[in-house]
């Protein structure tokens, strides 16, 4: 049976360090969020943008992709809440999350990572040296209840989830030769360079 994948572009942060919404910053003339969409769209069966409430109207002006707010119970609780929200809306086996602030990510990399999806694992996460990339990862739908437990306990750290589940770590060198695909933009200085 073919596995199904939902894509979730995480754009729910407040971009405090950046000073304005990163999702709409431009890279080579395209808003950041559209670059994340382009990296996911070819490999997913359904696609969502998980948004901060203040950005919903602008997303809806710029795209016809469904724009979701975190489930009210967990609104403002970070990426775990965004993943949980995607799982609540999705009918797919897996949710592939990608942040809106990685303008160098490419579909070839997401395709390679998705190829590692295996139901013997709960999460497929890139490993960059000794650092995980939990926001460029696939999470099995069955993790919804685990994420809810963590959030109900006030736990928001992605590492808390990874510590509780079966994770297949994939070396980033197996996914991309160019290390810049893993670069995210957090500040205006990073953006300008």
Known binding residues for Mg(2+) are 101
CA angle, corner 38, sides to 117 and 185, nearest 5?
95
Tokens 């799982």 sit on residue: 87
Q: Which residues are annotated as a binding site for GTP?
A: 10-12, 22, 70, 101
User: Residues of 127-156 as b/e, b for ≥16 C-beta within 10 angstroms?
Assistant: beeeebbbbbbbbbbebbebbbebbeeeeb
Binding annotation: 10-12, 22, 70, 101
Measured CA distances, 94 to 37, 47, 75 (Å): 17, 12, 22
């Amino acid at each position: 049976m073919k596995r199904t994948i939902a894509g979730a572009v995480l754009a729910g942060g407040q971009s405090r360090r950046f000073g304005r919404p990163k999702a709409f910053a431009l890279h080579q003339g395209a808003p950041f969020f559209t670059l994340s969409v382009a990296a996911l769209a070819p490999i997913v069966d359904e696609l969502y943008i998980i948004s901060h409430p203040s950005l919903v109207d602008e997303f809806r002006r710029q795209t016809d992709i469904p724009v979701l707010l975190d489930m009210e119970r967990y609104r403002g609780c970070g990426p775990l809440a965004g993943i949980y929200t995607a799982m609540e809306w999705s009918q797919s086996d897996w949710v592939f999350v990608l942040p809106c602030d990685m303008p160098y990510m490419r579909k070839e990399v997401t395709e390679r990572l998705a190829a590692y999806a295996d139901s013997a694992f709960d999460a497929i996460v890139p490993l960059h040296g000794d650092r995980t990339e939990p926001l460029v990862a696939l999470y099995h739908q069955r993790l919804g209840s685990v994420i809810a437990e963590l959030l109900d306990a006030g736990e928001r750290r992605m590492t808390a989830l990874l510590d509780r589940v079966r994770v297949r770590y994939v070396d980033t060198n197996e996914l991309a030769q160019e290390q810049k695909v893993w670069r995210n933009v957090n500040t205006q200085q990073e953006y300008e360079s």
